[in-house]
Chains A and B, each alone.
Chain A
């Protein structure tokens, strides 16, 4: 009761990275709150998975193992979480802001009439005072996220409803083993008590899993373009530079909305979070929503013809100029200096 719970997501039988990241965060929140960390794993053939989860500090692992629960389907997974949360009454419930977490989280929150904050970039514990009522809420979860298209940062709280639910994108929190020898207990759930037959009304007809061709998250160099790149043709220059220096091409949301590149390349709060050695921002003004996804890059170069672009403040190098004249020069001098 009153613990921190993480829904662990399975992707083709593998526990998603975001779940380990949330367990790491969940462990530190549980320590602060002096409560237990619980994990929920729903799927099929889950024997042995506890070995991967306990080192992250999981005290109690709830397992729902049934052939019909794999792959993920909305209604059965919702039903398990809602029933379990009604029994266990966690104070905090976290899940990944993935296609699964964003399908499941709102459903669960709606059933429990509990608040849910999407795409948090930070989670902290703090007190909240309502001066008017002279009331202090102790140890609330501060759910911090950029809002309003990423132009401001908001701190959201759920003073009265439990669990306090939040989703977090992959790569936003760091994953770290708590203790390799940590052992928790396993609770096997009797699936028939948690899911009604009627929950299997939506059927999976077919599924192709395509490994993503772009791997921006693990790239050591990212060449990212914004609205200021100006055209699909100019984006071609970014691909050329990225290929040459061994990087990947990313983009800001404005560039994607303009149709310059596909949404799988979006960097920022609602896209991918990156921490490359080198980040070259081309024609990106630097909304908070974008900056929060690339702030931890080691070296940042900003190419922008606006000397006052907000991104310049966090850049190590600022080149004032047009993308379509600067990049060809970078290509030229890279080639000359590596001959």
Chain B
């Protein structure tokens, strides 16, 4: 039976969906440090698609690849708990300040080092930027086709894959060849939860940097564990350093500001019958509604 080598691209992101008052600094900027770091939601949808392939073709392997700081190993462990077989953390100061293009270059170099792959799956976009660019940019750098906005992998044969994708006004089924990159839409199924046995098996898995930070006792156990997550730096991948990080990013942030909207003279109303009756009357008589 066919087996597929699958790479899932994932990102650890600040949970920008719930920026509460405590996350805003006095000057109105966002205090990132108080936001929880989470597994980018659409990347979890992508992981689910990978695990479904493995359900059907159990000899397949799933490798999660992420680029980020050392703490991003958290999402690799999360991936292992849910069904991935291996994790690779791409981490180095040289990657800092990357825009989408520099990120996709670094990821594509890491993927080339992994070497053997049939399907790369990632979320359509990450919630901290919403650009939806890294997936297609990686596909272009690898010179492979892409299917974006995927909702479901319909069928897999030895040399073909059929994927249903969501358009603005409908759906489309595309058939591609391997290797291929697929970006998964937010309308795709949610990822299954952690598996208890996998959690037990992988909970002490750590990267080399994490192991070094821990107490010596802990170091022994984790070094003895065969499931250490791989950690790659810039020296571990073959790449042109000019194309990495801030220097390799064609887009620069010129400025960031807190927008101040023109405040209106608003009329304050109470939640009582009289105020709301008056409001509805006014809207009707001024022909705004009705």
Contacts and interface: CB of A to CB of B under 8 A. Distances in A.
A326 B252 contact: no
Given A152-B257, A326-B271, A109 B264 contact: no
B141 interface: yes
B13 to A, nearest CB: 9
A34 interface: no
Interface stretch (A45-53, A174-182, A187-195, A207-215): A207-215
A119 B148 contact: no
Given A202-B147, A317-B279, A325 B271 contact: yes
A154 B255 contact: yes
Contacts of B216: none
Contacts of B252: 156-159
B175 A320 contact: no
A322 B3 CA distance: 55
Given A118-B131, A334-B284, A153 B259 contact: yes
B149 to A, nearest CB: 6
B254 A106 contact: no
Given A209-B170, A321-B270, A325-B271, A155 B254 contact: yes
A243 interface: no
A150 B17 CA distance: 9
Contacts of B91: none
Contacts of A298: 288
Interface string A305-316: 000000011111
Contacts of A111: 140
A249 to B, nearest CB: 15
A156 B253 CA distance: 5
Contacts of A157: 251-252, 254
Interface in B138-186: 138-141, 145-149, 162, 166-177, 186
A155 B100 CA distance: 16
Given A245-B289, A314-B264, A152 B258 contact: yes
Nearest to A99: B167
B269 interface: yes
Nearest to B16: A149
Given A154-B256, A201-B176, A207 B100 contact: no
A160 interface: yes
Interface stretch (A23-31, A36-44, A230-238, A287-295): A287-295
A116 interface: yes
A273 B104 CA distance: 30
B136 interface: yes
A335 B127 CA distance: 41
B29 interface: yes
Which of A105, A117, A334, A338 is most buried by chain B, counting CB atoms within 10 A of its CB? A334
Given A161-B250, A322-B271, A119 B130 contact: yes
Contacts of B129: 118, 147-148
B210 interface: no
A26 B184 CA distance: 32
Contact of B259 (A104, A288, A321): A288
A287 B101 CA distance: 27
Contacts of B174: 202-205
B186 A333 contact: no
Contact of B289 (A278, A295, A312): A278
Nearest to B252: A157
A148 B264 contact: no
A263 B186 contact: yes
B262 interface: yes
A119 B254 contact: no
Nearest to B281: A337
Given A107-B137, A263-B187, A116 B19 contact: no
B140 A153 contact: no
B269 A317 contact: yes
Interface string A257-293: 1000001000001100000011000000001100100
A148 B277 contact: no
Contact of A253 (B17, B140, B173, B257): B17
B275 interface: yes
A196 interface: no
Contacts of B173: 204-207
Given A154-B253, A246-B289, 4 more contacts: A116-B131, A148-B128, A315-B266, A317-B267
Nearest 3 pairs between A and B by C-beta?
A149-B16, A321-B271, A115-B250
6 contacts: A109-B101, A147-B256, A202-B176, A203-B174, A278-B283, A314-B264
